[in-house]
Amino acid sequence: MPAKGETVTIKKYANRRLYNTGTSTYVTLEDLAEMVKRGEDFTVQDAKTGDDITHPVLTQIIFELENKNGQAMLPIAFLRQLIAFYGDQMQMIVPSFLEQSMLAFSKEQQLFRDQMNTLGKTPVNPMNVMAMPPMKAIEEQTRRNMEMFQNAMRMFSAFPAATTQPEPAEPSPKQAADDLSELKDQIAAMQKKLDSLNR
């Protein structure tokens, strides 16, 4: 068994079988999904070439989960926007933005779970359930989470995908400076929002 906190190597063979070198057992994509949920770190290597194929395997896990009945999490509008960023000049900032957004969301979710646990231990009066402090806290937490994702989507919308239409005439130096200033303000506002969520 690997030591706690140690990164486990998963080897993928040509027959698509996955072998966990930490437990010396064959595993499935579902097993890897459970490892992720438990916070266990692993990398996936091609058994023949030694190439790191962790990214495509994790993407495959998401694809499998999204196709299970009732488990789809990624909204169609989000998927369309994400696809539009491939090949766009802003593609390089998207991974970092998504990573920071998900880290902030994960921290918020821990507070949400704590509030749910508190609610579960409190006797519930069906007539007064919405007036209970834990319920109000949960509602506020949900509102903040939704606000964060709406801000993220607005941030994405600020950078439209490249099109095949002819480029417009060069903007004047003043217009370019104003556009740059507006862009900087949008980025600063988003960073301020993320910083407040990370506290």
In whole angstroms, give the CA distance from residue 157 to residue 97: 13
Residue 79, amino acid: L
Question: Which uninterrupted H or E stretch holds 77?
Answer: helix 76-85
Assign 47 a pLDDT band (cuts: 50, 70, 90). very high
**Is residue 133 a contact partner of residue 121, using CB atoms and an 8 Å limit?**
no
pLDDT at 195: 67
Mean confidence (pLDDT) of the chain: 77
Instruction: Read off the pLDDT of each residue in 156-170 and give the average, rounded to a whole number.
Output: 50
* 190 closest CA partner among 161, 160, 162, 156: 156
Query: Mean per-residue pLDDT for 53-74?
Result: 91
Percentage, residues of the chain above pLDDT 70 = 61
Higher-confidence residue: 93 or 56? Answer: 56
What pLDDT, on a 0 to 100 scale, did the predictor assign at position 171? 57
d(CA 39, CA 123): 32
CB 19 within 8 A of CB 10: yes
Find tokens 């957004």 and name the residue. 101
pLDDT bucket at 189, cuts 50 / 70 / 90: confident
Task: Please tell me whether the overall predicted TM-score, pTM, comes out greater than 0.75 for this model.
Answer: no
69, 77, 81, 88, 97 from 85: Cα distances, Å:
28, 13, 7, 5, 13
| Strand order, beta sheet including 42-46 | 25-27, 18-20, 8-12, 42-46
Rounded distance between C-alpha atoms, residue 182 and residue 130, angstroms? 41
Of these ranges, 16-25, 84-93, 99-108, 143-152, the one predicted with the greatest mean pLDDT is 16-25
